[in-house]
Structures are given as C-alpha cells and as structure tokens.
Structure 1
Amino acid sequence: MGIILKNKVVVVKVFNNNIILVRDKGIEKVLFAKGLGFGKKFGETLNPGLMVEKLFKIENEDNQRNMNEVISRVDPEFFALCQEAIVDISEELGEKLNESIHIGLVDHLSFAITRIESNEEIENPFLVEIQTLYKKEFNLAVKLAKKIGDAINVKIPNGEAGFIALHIHSARNNGNLSNTIKYSSLSNTIVKHVEKRLDIKIDRESLDYARFLIHIRFAVERILLDNHIKNDLMGVIKKRYKVSYKIAEEASIILEKGLDKKVTKDEIAYLAMHIERFKSSIEKA
C-alpha cells in the first residue's frame, strides 16, 4: 500500500528515476516510487496527493547537514542503491530504523568500496563477537552486502558485513553507533583478558563462548540502567572459585572504566561462573 503526501514538497535532489530527496516544511524526505524521478528538477514543487511507495524522513538538523555532505561526494546511483537496501532491511525486520543509518551506513560503505577496489585489507577485530551477539543483524548485513556488491560488481567481505551489522543494530537501538562499537570492544577486551590470565585460547565456536558474550551484553545493559541483580551464591562462588573470581574482578574494572559505572559484586560473581567454565575446560583437557 502506498503513502500519500499531505503537503507540497520541493525537490532537492534526484538520485535516479525512482528515488528523490524533497523538503517538506524543514524536514527532508527521501521518496521512492517507480518513475518518480523521471524529468524532475531541483526546486520543482510536487503537490499534495502524490502517492509514493516508500518514504523516510530526516528530521534531525545534524543528520540533514551530514546527509547533504554525503550526497555531495557520493554517486547518486550508489546512494539510491544503499537507500533501497536499507529500506529492504527495515521492512524485513518490520521495524522503523533510526534515521541516522541512511547517512552513516552510506558514508561507511562509500569509503569501504574505495578501500576494496584499492585492494586494501579490511580487518574487523570484533567480527566473531558481532556474529555471536548480533546474529540477526549480521545475517541481514550479509544480504545487504551481497545486494550492493552484486550491483556494482564488488565482493564485500564478511569483515565489512560485520561493520554493516553494527550500523543495523545501532539503528534498531536509537542510532548510537559509537556505543554499539564500544560495547563490542569491551566484550573483546574482556575475552582477551580471560584468555591471557588462564593462558588459553577460547573456542569462538563454543557454546560457552556464546553464553559468555551474551552475558556480558546483558550485564552492560543492567549496569548502565542500574538494574541490579541478586546472586544468592556469591559467597560460595567467591570462596570455591577463587581464581575465576579474581579474574572476574579484573574484568569488572575493565567494564567500570569503559562504562564509567560501578559493577556490583553480584555481577562479578556471575562473571566468575562463566570464567570458571573456561577454567574447568582446561583442567578436563
């Protein structure tokens, strides 16, 4: 079912025959409709009652400014291709994504394609964490990367799909990409710390690893929201698993520095339980 425009809008940019950017009373909107852009020109007025297939708004002034900057240096067809892919993702999720993805992801992909075409190696230090924590977003990112890659004849690697997944996850959660990256980095740092202290290499395909990452993810949310949980076995854990509890205390310091929040002893005890699983796996090996 289409969307009917209620107000007069002014054409700001024509990307291709199907996608245009318009201004509607201070709000910028990207409109999708077959043949909509054909013959349209900058400054042209479109009257109320026009039906379009898809529409997304850019209401934030900073986002409007950033989008205009991206538009000025990105090929219009590439911009349109990215927008179509993003809207497909939104529809597949059945969710309205934060408007920032329409700018940030296009900007990121534009530079990524340039690096790929220059044969520059793209490394994603959080790829395994992303695949584990944001499985749905990663699968959608792989699909988006294939759509865009096929259209421009460029193979976009999984490492880059991982970054796309972060954009998608961020857009599902108020658009704060820097926090999404920071939390993935915290998980990565804690895992490496546990490996160093136990002198092991944790199997990134193991169930224990997946559980640990998921625990850290929700622990971060609880810590940020001051949503304290009770661990009735805290005393037993601290006494029985002394090494794991000590490492958990060290991990909590990493969290406190990264989040600027205090980590409770109950949370430390839960971390210790997960670390003890890794420690036990060494002893059984």
Structure 2
Amino acid sequence: MNNLQTDCYHVIKVFNNNVLLVHQNGEEKILFSKGIGFGKHQGDMLPTDTKADKVFTMQNQNNFNSFKNLISSVDSNIIGLCEEVISMISDELKEPLNEKIHVSLTDHISYTIKRLMENNIIENPFLVETETLYKREFSIAKKAVMMLEERLNIMIPDEEVGFITLHIHSARNEGKLSNTIKYAFLSNTIIEFLEDELNIEIDKQSLDYARFLTHIRFAIERILNNNPIKNDLIAAIKKQYKVSYNLAERVSEIIENELFLNVVEDETAYIAIHIEKFRNAPKKN
C-alpha cells in the first residue's frame, strides 16, 4: 500500500468510486483503491492519511497527451472501469505493464462498447490463433470481459476476448501491438492457405496446430531480428518431403511479402516438417 504522506493530492477528475485522477507536485497521477473516489468531487483535496492500492504516473508525453484526449471524449465511468481492468491484468500477471495500455486498451474497449450498443457485429478472424499463441493472456482477457459484462450489464462476444488478449500481450512486450497483430494475421493467412492447398480442415485443438503456430510466431521474431535458425537436414527434408517443402516455400513467400524480409532456406525446411504432419494427420469426420 502507498501511504500518501507527501503534499496533498488535488482531485482533477473522479472516474468512479475506485479510480481518481489527481494532481500533486506538478504531476498528474491515477490513484486506484476500493472506495477512494466515493463522495469525491473535482477540486477536492485528499487528506494526507489517505491510502491507495496503486499510484500510477504516465511517463511518456505522447501517451499522456493521448490519455488526456481520451478523458475528454470517453465517459468517465468507462475510463474508471478500464483502469480497474488494467489493474486486474497487472495483478494476474504479477508484473508491470507498458503504460501505453492505458490508452490503447481503454480506447479499444470504449469503441467496442459503442459498437455493441449500436448492435454492430464484432468479427475476429484471429480468435483461434490468438487463444493458441497466448494462452495465459487469453485466460486473463476472459476475466476482463467478465468484469465488463458484470459492471455494464451487457453481453460481450468471444471475439472481443481475442482482441483484449492482443492488447495484454502487447503490454507485456514494450507496447508493440503491431507485431502482436502481425503474428496473428500471418498465422491466420498461412493456415487458410494450407487448408486450401491440402484440401483439409486443420484441427485447431491439436498439438500439431499449436506447435506450428508457435513455430511461426518465433520464426517471425527471428526474421525481424535477423537471427536466422540453423537446419542441417535441409537436403533430407527436400528429398523426403517434396510436396510439403514446395508448400513451405510458398508459405515463406507469404511471410516475405508481409515482412519485406528474406526467409532463409533453413527456416523453410522447418516449416516443411510441420506441413508434413498436417498432410499425414487423420482426417476430421
């Protein structure tokens, strides 16, 4: 617990009963604690013996400006609820999150709520891939959706769990949401390509599927970081798995066209091994 024994906190905005935006010593901070906002109003000063579970200060000026814009355009209760969700996520992971999540996730959730209120359909083509790649984050995202449903009294589709998962994963990786989405997009594109070419439906619950997506995820990271993998069995794989290797070359082309980077032959050979497993898997009834 943080004991607020320094200069008084001046209340700027009351988001809800549990979250306040305050000013102290030239800094704006978010205070989070159950009941801390009850009965508070803009301009109030918090007593020096007030306690808060969490005190958060945004360090990046761009993030701070974006958050201020959100405050002026999004309902205060939604912002407060999103801050409670973010606090829960951090507690579940037992680690700090990139501060950008206070902007990106809040903006996303507020827009989603608006769409749901307007009865718009939410689609997520990466849902299965996201759950497979980021199991821990997906489980926490489910809890986040349950919080939102309970507090807002609305039904939120499973597709939204996938989107929140991506934001959580991004917040654990320096806020790089674009790379997180890139993994999911590429994985989805590759799976659809292989299903069409092999004329099969890949079992999304299988261990082979999970292993393949994990390989693609780390393959993308290796390619982006110019850290090529070594494969001493290229010649044998080409000879033994001709069909799968040809498909792997086309998968590598998909990756190259998306990343604008070269995929080494060693990587292609490993992809071929995974494709061969799909080719030989029992057909789904």
TM-score, structure 1 as length reference? 0.91
Partner AA of 1:30 in structure 2:
I
The unaligned stretches of length 5 or more in structure 2 are none
What is the match of residue 106 of structure 1?
106
Aligned with 2:16: secondary structure?
coil
CA distance in 2, matches of 1:45, 1:257: 57
The answer to whether the Cα contact below 8 Å between 2:31 and 2:55 also exists between their aligned partners in 1 is yes
The reply to whether residue 160 of structure 1 matches residue 133 of structure 2 is no
Change (3 A) 1:150 1:47: closer
The answer to whether the Cα contact below 8 Å between 1:20 and 1:30 also exists between their aligned partners in 2 is yes
Q: Which moved more, 1:165-174 or 1:68-77?
A: 68-77
CA distance in 2, matches of 1:269, 1:7: 63
1:136 deviates by 0.8
Aligned with 2:57: secondary structure?
strand
Partner AA of 1:262 in structure 2:
N
What is the match of residue 121 of structure 1?
121
Aligned with 1:168: secondary structure?
helix
The answer to whether the Cα contact below 8 Å between 1:15 and 1:77 also exists between their aligned partners in 2 is yes
1:261 deviates by 2.1
CA distance in 2, matches of 1:63, 1:133: 28
Aligned with 1:205: secondary structure?
coil
Give matches, 1:87-106, under 5 Å.
87-106=87-106
CA distance in 1, matches of 2:283, 2:135: 31
The unaligned stretches of length 5 or more in structure 1 are none
1:50 deviates by 5.2
The answer to whether the Cα contact below 8 Å between 2:130 and 2:184 also exists between their aligned partners in 1 is yes
What is the match of residue 12 of structure 1?
12
What is the match of residue 240 of structure 2?
240
**1:149-174 deviation line (CA, Å, top 9, x unaligned):** 11111011110111011110110111
CA distance in 2, matches of 1:9, 1:2: 13
Partner AA of 2:235 in structure 1:
G
CA distance in 1, matches of 2:211, 2:51: 48
The answer to whether the Cα contact below 8 Å between 2:203 and 2:284 also exists between their aligned partners in 1 is no
**1:194-248 deviation line (CA, Å, top 9, x unaligned):** 1122122211112111111011011111112222221111110012111111111
1:283 deviates by 8.8
CA distance in 1, matches of 2:84, 2:283: 52
Give matches, 1:129-144, under 5 Å.
129-144=129-144
What is the match of residue 197 of structure 2?
197
The reply to whether residue 216 of structure 1 matches residue 182 of structure 2 is no
What is the match of residue 281 of structure 1?
281
What is the match of residue 64 of structure 2?
64
What is the match of residue 184 of structure 2?
184
**1:22-47 deviation line (CA, Å, top 9, x unaligned):** 24566532111344334544455668
Change (3 A) 1:24 1:184: farther
CA distance in 2, matches of 1:161, 1:25: 39
TM-score, structure 2 as length reference? 0.91
CA distance in 2, matches of 1:129, 1:49: 48
RMSD: 2.3
